[in-house]
Amino acid sequence: MYAPSKRAVCLILGIIVTQVLARCYDPSPAFPLTKHRDYQQSERLKQDFRIIENKLDKLISDSKFDISSYSIEITTSDGTLWENHHTSKEKDPKRPGATHITGNSVYRMASVTKCFTTLALLRQHIAGNLSLDDTVDKYLSDLSGSIPWKDITLKTMASQLSGIPRDSWGNEILYIVDSPTDLGLPPIRKSQLPPCNTFLGSDKPCSKEDLFSSLAKQEPLFPPKQKSTYSNNNFVLLGLVIEKVTGMGYADYIESSILKPLGMDMSSFTKSNDSFAVLPKLPTGDNYWDTEEGVDNPTGGLYSSSSDMSKFLRYVLKHYNRLTPTLNWFHPASYSTTISSFYGTPWEIFRTNSILPSTSRPVTFVTKSGSVPGYLSYIILLPEYDLGITILTTGTSTLLKDSIREIITVPLVKTAEHIAQTDLAARYTGTYQAAHLNSTLVISHSATKSLYVESFISNSTDVFAALKSFWPSDDLRIQLVPTLLFRDEEKQQGEIWRGLPVPEKMNESLIWDDFCLTDDDPVQFAGKPVFEFVMWHADDGAGRVEEVELSAFRVTLKRDRNTGTQKADIQESRETVLDSGVNGAGAQHILVGA
């Protein structure tokens, strides 16, 4: 028997203690991905959809939304769960557009187009036709002026870190006010305006030459890589790079390589027939439906439907971490203004711990929004729940921003969490024992702790008691965290989990307690991770864990069928389904697969 040296003990103690010096006890992810059928079979989710429908009907009964239409869909990576559509009460009698809004009705997607431009860029990177670390002037040699093009890479452009000005024409005040002096600005001749303006419906779409001429006169907003700030110009230029390396027009490439393979038959960079078009009743000149974006197509030119966008979201949910070895598409690229907001490539990412009532674990929303006159679009992905949301609106702009997003996302996340935690309690908890050893593992669950090891006896040794000799706290648990890897990746069998030792009680809160660094592999024994747990499920349809393999202990424990599993201990308030007595005109509610 080898006696550990003082130096070794101090080393192990130092490694483990780093896990508990901060409020990091709610690790993410907390559970494997919920299956599509579990969402479909959830009575609670069906009830939530009825609540959401009720709230939407009440919302659109307000006369200020009489000119508004919308389409909403919620999907997993395997299929649509629910959709809801509303047809505006008031239409333009001269050009009403689609008479009844469905999942195939077509909207302008505006800046959601940037996601397709970025996906095209990633595919060209994978194909070896470009590198994300190439500078933009390698492909667009006509760029000139004071902007440091030689220091701006394709990656910094896709993540809004280039420092390039936002627009070349779209944010010009002279286009929207008759007299700049009313705003305290000096008088100036409108002859000094750019020769085109795609975003305001000019008869002349802007060209590549117009863009280069405008950029040559502009100054950088920030040094490259200094700070993310929103820029349409980034994606216009990326579209030109895609044209350069593919030898195809931007729209032709996106349609042939992304839209058609995904079956997005209602999506295009050319407007659809009016019978499919969602056309808001707006003052003359405010309807953007007919506007051709020209060179600006890569930043906002796509037309699409909620059904097609669900197809796109399903693809993204399945492939976001497998598109390229160099990039997880959902990871942030830089900070934004608040501690909860980040820029991705080109995602707008929001993290909050204000939704889940029983844990401080943050929920991550990977989003992209877009707007042009008359249209607002929004896509939201929740990768840890395997959910994607599409919200498309026309008419009153506040319908999306102030109302629908909150109505949809908050109850959906709470219920998705409930489904996942209920599944953990039903399939994973229990007592596991070795046949010929005095070894027993008890896995438990609670709303605040999620899945954790309650006790572990290994060959007659109380492992928790032994750990306390290295531990600064008398009370501890082993928090279980899924790695989303499998012992048999091909068959997706043998879920690999890691255990994190955490204290049951926290000391007095300090500012630096919020500083959390992830270390899910603190100690090994003879080359095996001490806190690795491999969960082997039954094939009886119930999907319960029947065996737990403890890699470092060289033992596999079998479920004690006499102990059963826990019921989920999840306490939280539930809204009551209230019949408002209001039915939105043209509202259509569809629960898919119910």
216: closest CA among 233, 235, 198? 233
Whole-angstrom distance, CA of residue 457 vs CA of residue 500:
17
Domain ranges (residues) in the chain: 6-30+429-559, 43-126+232-419
- Residue range 43-126+232-419 forms a domain whose CATH class is alpha beta
Share of the chain above pLDDT 70, in %: 83
Our CA dihedral for 112, 117, 120, 121, rounded to 10 degrees, sits at -130
394 and 68 Cβ atoms separated by less than 8 Å: yes
Q: Is the pLDDT of residue 499 over 70?
A: yes
Predicted local distance difference test score (pLDDT) of residue 587: 60
pLDDT-based confidence at residue 167 (cuts at 50, 70, 90)? confident
Predicted local distance difference test score (pLDDT) of residue 532: 95
Predicted local distance difference test score (pLDDT) of residue 471: 64
Predicted local distance difference test score (pLDDT) of residue 561: 82
Q: Is the pLDDT of residue 582 over 50?
A: no
Q: Is the pLDDT of residue 22 over 80?
A: no
Rg (CA), the chain: 28
CA 187 to chain centre: 45
CA atoms within 13 A on the CB side of 485: 8
Candidate from 204-208, 285-289, 367-371, 573-577 with smallest mean pLDDT? 573-577
pLDDT-based confidence at residue 168 (cuts at 50, 70, 90)? confident
139: closest CA among 122, 152, 123? 152
- Side chain identity at residue 32, one-letter code: P
Mean pLDDT of 378-396: 96
Q: Could you tell me the two tokens for 237?
A: 């230029």
Chain segment 224-261, per-residue pLDDT in tens: 999 999 999 999 999 999 999 999 999 999 999 999 99
Chain segment 102-157, per-residue pLDDT in tens: 999 999 999 999 999 999 999 999 999 999 999 999 999 999 999 999 999 999 99
Candidate from 25-29, 118-122, 400-404, 557-561 with smallest mean pLDDT? 25-29
Q: Is the pLDDT of residue 337 over 90?
A: no
205 versus 44: which is more confidently predicted? 44
435-441 contact pairs (CB < 8 A, 24+)? 435/558, 437/555, 439/553, 439/555, 439/557, 440/557, 441/548, 441/550, 441/557
pLDDT-based confidence at residue 326 (cuts at 50, 70, 90)? confident
Predicted local distance difference test score (pLDDT) of residue 504: 66
DSSP label at residue 235: H
Candidate from 1-15, 41-55, 113-127, 395-409 with smallest mean pLDDT? 1-15
252 versus 586: which is more confidently predicted? 252
Residue whose structure tokens are 């909150």: 406
Cα-flanking dihedrals φ and ψ of residue 157, to 5°? -70, -45
Predicted local distance difference test score (pLDDT) of residue 514: 76
Beta bridge partners of 461: 458
pTM surpassing 0.75?
A: yes
Mean pLDDT of 467-479: 72
3-state percent breakdown (helix, strand, coil) of the chain, nearest 5: 30, 20, 45
Predicted local distance difference test score (pLDDT) of residue 580: 36
Computed over every residue of the chain, the mean pLDDT equals: 86
- Side chain identity at residue 528, one-letter code: K
Our CA dihedral for 167, 168, 170, 173, rounded to 10 degrees, sits at 100
SS3 181: helix
- Which helix (H) or strand (E) covers residue 398, if one does? helix 398-398
Beta bridge partners of 376: 371, 393
DSSP label at residue 467: H
Contacts of 231 (CB under 8 A, 6+ apart): 160, 162, 164, 165, 166, 167, 221
Whole-angstrom distance, CA of residue 253 vs CA of residue 257:
6
Cα–Cα distances in angstroms (integers) from residue 580 to residues 50, 223, 583, in the given order:
12, 54, 8
Mean pLDDT of 301-317: 98
164 versus 574: which is more confidently predicted? 164
Predicted local distance difference test score (pLDDT) of residue 574: 43
Sign, CA torsion 183/186/189/194: negative
Predicted local distance difference test score (pLDDT) of residue 169: 62
Chain segment 340-361, per-residue pLDDT in tens: 999 999 999 999 999 998 888 8
Predicted local distance difference test score (pLDDT) of residue 573: 43
432: closest CA among 265, 238, 588, 562? 562
